[in-house]
Amino acid sequence: MVGVFQLLVAFLGLYIIYQMDEILGRFNLVFGPETNVEPPNWFVNFVRILVGLFVLYQLRLAFIKYI
């Protein structure tokens, strides 16, 4: 059961990576469209790498339960 939960968390992380541009694009809604604030490209890539490492860790934990 724990492995199934970790698989769900991993797929949620993959969805976050897939939707990263739209999620971080909401900065314009927070700071106002007139400021035209966008996160720097290095920050977007850094967040993608962090979420990707978290996804790999969750998948590793999930598959250790079954092996």
Per-residue pLDDT tens over the stretch 54-66: 888 888 887 876 6
Give the pLDDT of residue 1.
66
Do 45 and 20 touch, CB atoms closer than 8 A? Answer: no
Determine the length of the chain: 67
- φ, ψ of residue 11 in degrees (nearest 5): -70, -35
Do 56 and 4 touch, CB atoms closer than 8 A? Answer: no
Q: Cα–Cα distance between 8 and 59 in angstroms, integer?
A: 9
Give the pLDDT of residue 60.
85
What's the pTM value of the predicted model, to 2 decimals?
0.65
Per-residue pLDDT tens over the stretch 1-54: 667 788 888 888 888 888 877 777 666 655 556 666 666 778 778 888 888 888
The SS3 of residue 18 is helix
Q: Domain locations in the chain? A: 2-66
Output the six-digit token pair for 10.
Answer: 């991993």
Give the pLDDT of residue 54.
87
Q: Please, which pLDDT band fits residue 67 given cuts at 50, 70 and 90?
A: low
